[in-house]
């Protein structure tokens, strides 16, 4: 029997339990244990991907949880902690000759395989302790290594101008890697299913919508509901490959205009510019114009918008609670105390129940966010879009 599970597969660790940095740009509050507690107790995530599990001190903390009986390694892969399954992942950066650098996500079944991958990485990067390291190999060699370890490699935030496969590395997947070993791609915060399916070579790929969380609050800002028989790495892989009815059955993502790189913009003054803008910003004269995801997809598109493979699930443009005006930390705590988790607030609480806890105005905004009815100011050049109160 298949069950629906909420999954966020791209969460960074900011620091180890001894205080050493892992993802430099992430909050030091993002330790392994705190992420697991947040995902299980507050966010209500059934499955999460920690994509800094290659870091030796992160592995030490994980071993400590296992030895204390607080976490349990599953026979079919993955590690259970309270109500959440942890899937071990790693983000790496590769720069093919003559191309821009891009990020790729690697997921492996068990700690044993991740330790083997750490050893492989340590011979190819400068500091294996840190996240998103440049590794000195080719994408096809990375694919071969991951395949041997019975894992999956998934291109990360594929359209992002900084470190996205299409954003900075290539116009076509086959130019840099073996497409037959890529079963899924991560869309990133500035694109949705309608945009991505304008590229025909993606029509056989599963689309993932993940948070790329650098702070505890960002966990679950994007996620997907996946049909699986149980929570395990083996079942998750079958869902990625859409075997036996398993698969992503809903993508819950940001409205693309809330993403940091949706529209072409000036990195200096943040002015939104025409899609083909180049050279100096006409507003401030700054030289750095960042091409938006929407413009990049327009360049690559070979299919009219609205054409999707038959298996493609709906994309629900969901606005995270933290984006809603008036919802601050105190109100979030009140919502969690009343409804348990963010998933309950976003998916299960009625407007009447929400009104009783947070008042009519905020309850109405939460419901409008569910239904995609809020007005949005577009983001670009590294600045998030925002909700514009009516």
- Measured between alpha carbons, how far is 367 from 346 in angstroms, rounded to an integer? 8
| Average pLDDT value over all residues in the chain | 91
User: Do 168 and 44 share a structural domain?
Assistant: yes
User: Do 195 and 52 share a structural domain?
Assistant: yes
- Check which CATH number belongs to the domain holding 8 and give it: 3.20.20.140
pLDDT digits (tens, 9 = 90+) for 280-289: 777 686 667 6
Q: Is residue 74 part of a domain?
A: yes
User: Do 348 and 247 share a structural domain?
Assistant: no
User: Do 364 and 222 share a structural domain?
Assistant: no
Residue 290 has pLDDT above 80, yes or no: no
CA distances from 146 to 11, 59, 106, 113 (A): 20, 18, 7, 9
pLDDT at residue 269, rounded to an integer: 76
User: Do 195 and 56 share a structural domain?
Assistant: yes
CA distances from 51 to 87, 92, 290 (A): 9, 9, 27
Domain extent for 220: 3-257
pLDDT digits (tens, 9 = 90+) for 304-330: 998 999 999 999 887 778 778 888 889
CA distances from 32 to 7, 22, 35, 189 (A): 17, 11, 5, 23
- The number of folded domains in the chain is 2
Residue 164 has pLDDT above 60, yes or no: yes
Tokens of 296: 């990049």
pLDDT at residue 280, rounded to an integer: 76
Q: Is residue 150 part of a domain?
A: yes
Q: Is residue 162 part of a domain?
A: yes
User: Do 237 and 142 share a structural domain?
Assistant: yes
Lowest mean pLDDT among 22-31, 178-187, 248-257: 248-257
Residue 381 has pLDDT above 60, yes or no: no
pLDDT at residue 389, rounded to an integer: 60
Q: Is residue 290 part of a domain?
A: no
Lowest mean pLDDT among 22-26, 199-203, 243-247, 266-270: 266-270
pTM recorded for the entire structure: 0.91
User: Do 357 and 213 share a structural domain?
Assistant: no
Q: Is residue 335 part of a domain?
A: yes
Look at residues 257, 273, 288 and tell me which one is the last residue of a structural domain: 257
Q: Is residue 147 part of a domain?
A: yes
- Check which CATH number belongs to the domain holding 347 and give it: 1.10.150
Q: Is residue 108 part of a domain?
A: yes
User: Do 356 and 213 share a structural domain?
Assistant: no
User: Do 228 and 368 share a structural domain?
Assistant: no
Q: What angle do CA 78, 82, 83 make, to 5 degrees?
A: 80
User: Do 234 and 89 share a structural domain?
Assistant: yes
Closest listed residue to residue 191, CA positions, set 166, 154, 219:
166
pLDDT digits (tens, 9 = 90+) for 338-376: 998 888 888 889 999 999 999 999 999 888 877 767 777
User: Do 336 and 231 share a structural domain?
Assistant: no
Q: Which residues contact 118 (CB under 8 A, 6 or more apart)?
A: 54, 55, 56, 59, 128
User: Do 337 and 216 share a structural domain?
Assistant: no
Tokens of 178: 């073996």
Closest listed residue to residue 52, CA positions, set 138, 140, 121, 101:
121
Q: Is residue 351 part of a domain?
A: yes
């Amino acid at each position: 029997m298949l069950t629906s599970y909420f999954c966020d597969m791209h969460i960074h660790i900011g620091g180890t339990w001894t205080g050493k940095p892992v993802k430099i740009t992430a909050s030091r509050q993002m330790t392994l244990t705190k992420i697991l507690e947040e995902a299980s107790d507050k966010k209500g995530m059934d499955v999460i991907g920690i994509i800094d599990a290659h870091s030796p001190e992160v592995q030490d903390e994980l071993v400590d949880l296992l030895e204390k009986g607080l976490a349990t390694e599953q026979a079919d892969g993955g590690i259970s902690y309270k109500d959440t399954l942890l899937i071990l992942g790693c983000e790496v950066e590769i720069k093919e000759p003559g191309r821009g650098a891009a990020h790729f996500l690697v997921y492996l079944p068990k700690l044993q395989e991740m330790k083997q991958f750490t050893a492989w990485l340590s011979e190819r990067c400068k500091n294996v302790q840190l996240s998103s390291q440049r590794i000195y190999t080719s994408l096809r060699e990375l694919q071969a290594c991951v395949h041997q370890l019975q894992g999956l490699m998934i291109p990360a935030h594929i359209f992002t101008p900084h470190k996205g496969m299409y954003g900075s590395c290539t116009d076509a997947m086959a130019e840099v890697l073996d497409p037959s070993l890529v079963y899924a791609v991560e869309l990133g915060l500035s694109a949705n299913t309608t945009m991505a399916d304008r590229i025909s070579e993606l029509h056989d790929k599963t689309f993932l919508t993940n948070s790329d969380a650098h702070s505890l609050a960002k966990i679950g800002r994007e996620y997907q509901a996946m049909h699986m028989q149980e929570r395990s790495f083996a079942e998750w892989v079958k869902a990625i490959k859409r075997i036996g009815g398993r698969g992503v059955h809903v993508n819950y993502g940001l409205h693309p205009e809330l993403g940091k790189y949706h529209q072409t913009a000036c990195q200096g003054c943040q002015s939104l510019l025409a899609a083909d803008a180049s050279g100096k910003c006409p507003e401030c004269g700054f030289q750095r114009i960042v091409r938006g995801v929407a413009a990049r997809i327009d360049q690559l598109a070979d299919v009219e918008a609205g054409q999707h493979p038959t298996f493609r699930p709906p994309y629900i443009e969901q606005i995270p609670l933290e984006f809603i005006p008036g919802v601050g930390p105190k109100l979030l705590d009140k919502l969690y105390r009343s409804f348990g988790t963010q998933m309950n607030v976003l998916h299960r609480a009625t407007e009447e129940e929400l009104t009783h806890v947070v008042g009519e105005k905020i309850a109405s905004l939460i419901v409008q966010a569910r239904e995609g009815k809020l007005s949005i100011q577009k983001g670009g050049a590294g600045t998030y879009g925002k909700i514009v109160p009516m």
